[in-house]
Amino acid sequence: MASAAQDSTTRKTKDSWRIHHSPKKATLFSAVLPGLGQAYNHSYWKVPIIYVGFGALGYSFWFNQGEYKRFAQDYIYETDNDPNTISDYPANAELLRTKRNYYKKHRDLTLIGFAGLYALQILDAHVDAHLSQFDINDDLSLRWSPTLLPSKNIFQHGQLAGGIGFQLTF
């Protein structure tokens, strides 16, 4: 038992230079505040990308909501049979209804985009924390080189054929 504990301690001190991130913490941090899990994982370059994505989706929501309200109000004015109400967009009721539904659909898709980006940044933080413990060193490599191999063609027996040899080291 003492030997197993000693091996564990030795491994920790030998690999003390490697940063181990907790996937649970990274997931929780990202769920509480988008981008915080990426900052916890020291992937600082991802944080602005996340916030630019949320900003673009926010602008899309704002724009589509405004246009939806405008065409919804114009549709109401066009269909209320009151000559005193005049819509800002002179068109028939069918065109106004089509435009209203178009902006409503895109507004709703933007909300789905918000949920998708939120879930994706949580998943990214979780996976990045798991991969922080993945061992990548010089022993992991793929090398290729030109080689000459004996021909397997029965008509060219004894001749050499050119090829590419791959060597995977791990």
pTM for this prediction: 0.68
How many residues comprise the chain?
A: 170
Mean pLDDT for back-to-back runs of 10 residues, the chain (170 residues): 42 52 94 95 95 97 97 90 79 91 97 97 94 71 80 69 77
pLDDT at 79: 87
Q: What pLDDT score does 137 carry?
A: 67
- Cβ neighbours, 10 Å, residue 38: 24
Q: What span, in angstroms and rounded, lies between the C-alpha atoms of 108 and 10?
A: 55
For residue 155, the model assigns a pLDDT of 66
Ranges of each domain in the chain: 21-131, 136-170
